[in-house]
Chain A
Amino acid sequence: MENFYNEIAELLEVDSVTGSEMLNSFVCWDSLTILSIIAHVDDNYSVTLSAAEVNDAKTIDGLKNLVVSKKS
């Protein structure tokens, strides 16, 4: 998970992100970006997320915690 912030920054089309930032505050936040996150997490962490779970995660750290919790 050490590259998680960089990976999510790329999907959110920004240079960097911080844990407290709200997911829906990013310019590119839309259904395709949510799908991108689901596909990326599936490919790289073998974790299955739903669109509702990604939305409910609210923040970058919320998303990270969600992935960690489902991975363990």
Chain B
Amino acid sequence: MGETGFNPLRLSGKKFFISGAASGIGRATCILLSKLGADLIMADINQEGLGETAKLCKSTDLTVMMDFSQSGVIKEHLSKLVPLFGKLNGCVHIAGRPYISPLKSINEKTTLEVFQINTMTALELSKTFANRTISADEGGSIVFISSVYALVGSAANVGYSMSKSALHGITKALSVELAPRHIRVNCIAPGFIKTKMGDNISHFFAEGHDDKISEMHPLGMGEPEDVANSIAFLLSDMSKWITGSIMNVDGGFTAK
């Protein structure tokens, strides 16, 4: 911000819902949005992680424990919270579950669980947000987080890829459907980010895998803040003419 106080990313007075707020990209996003002046409802299944995130945000930001493997939780909570908190200007679905499995070991039950958290929750969040009792009268912004693996192929990732590429279809369809309401819908497809979720699946791979992954990104692996910056842009009025876009935030992963 310069001496004039001009800051087109300022979000004071704006209210947002963030899923997956307890760690990684979700935590970095909450911290950034809070610093930019936004008021937040931060949700995750991990109560301890949520508490840690809350300590790094404004004291007025809300936390709520939600299990996104259960359908209906978002509507249930937001219909109670929003009348007290105020109508929302946007929402971001960051919560996600990885699923590493080659085709021959893919499990239908696990695949559907992954699809529920990564994809169906995004749809439920959109439906809830788009309701006039939840979203601000002037419209708003919905942001999804997919993956480079929704754009390019990768062995042993079919279950995860299908859950994330479906978000691209949702983005395109809803951007058209919700445009008359001035609700923009966009999706960020991140490359590999150094997060706990990544650490949790590292046991699947042989030694040296991290170095190989890093080499796939011309700018190296990303930080959660790299994605958070793009989310703030898509929530702000700086992106008011952007909808239906899939933004690659991947350090050049898909440029090669």
**Taking beta carbons and an 8 Å cutoff, which residues of A are in contact with B?**
10-11, 13, 31-33, 35-40, 43-44, 48-52
Number of B residues with CB within 8 Å of any CB on chain A: 16
Alpha-carbon distance A67/B135, docked complex (angstroms): 50
Q: Name the one of B100, B109, B206, B207 contacting A39, with C-beta atoms under 8 angstroms.
A: B100
Least CB separation from B109: chain A residue: A43
Main secondary structure of the interface of B (DSSP, over half): loop
Main secondary structure of the interface of A (DSSP, over half): helix
Known: A43-B107, A43-B110. A31 touches B206 (CB 8 A): yes
B126-155: CB near A (< 8 Å → 1, else 0) gives 000000000000000000000000000001
**Taking beta carbons and an 8 Å cutoff, which residues of B are in contact with A?**
100-102, 104-107, 109-110, 155-156, 203-207
In the complex, chain A residues whose CB is within 8 Å of the CB of B207: 52
Alpha-carbon distance A47/B203, docked complex (angstroms): 12
In the complex, chain A residues whose CB is within 8 Å of the CB of B107: 39-40, 43-44
In the complex, chain B residues whose CB is within 8 Å of the CB of A11: 104-105
Q: How far is the CB of B153 from chain A (nearest CB, A)?
A: 14
The reply to whether A35 and B156 form a contact with Cβ atoms under 8 Å apart is: yes
Known: A39-B106, A43-B107, A44-B107. 16 other contacts (CB 8 A): A10-B104, A11-B105, A13-B104, A31-B206, A32-B156, A33-B102, A35-B105, A36-B105, A38-B100, A39-B105, A39-B156, A43-B101, A48-B203, A50-B203, A51-B203, A52-B207
Q: List 20 A-B contacts (CB under 8 A).
A: A31-B206, A32-B155, A33-B102, A35-B105, A36-B102, A36-B104, A38-B204, A39-B100, A39-B102, A39-B105, A39-B107, A43-B109, A44-B107, A50-B203, A50-B204, A51-B203, A51-B204, A51-B205, A51-B206, A52-B207
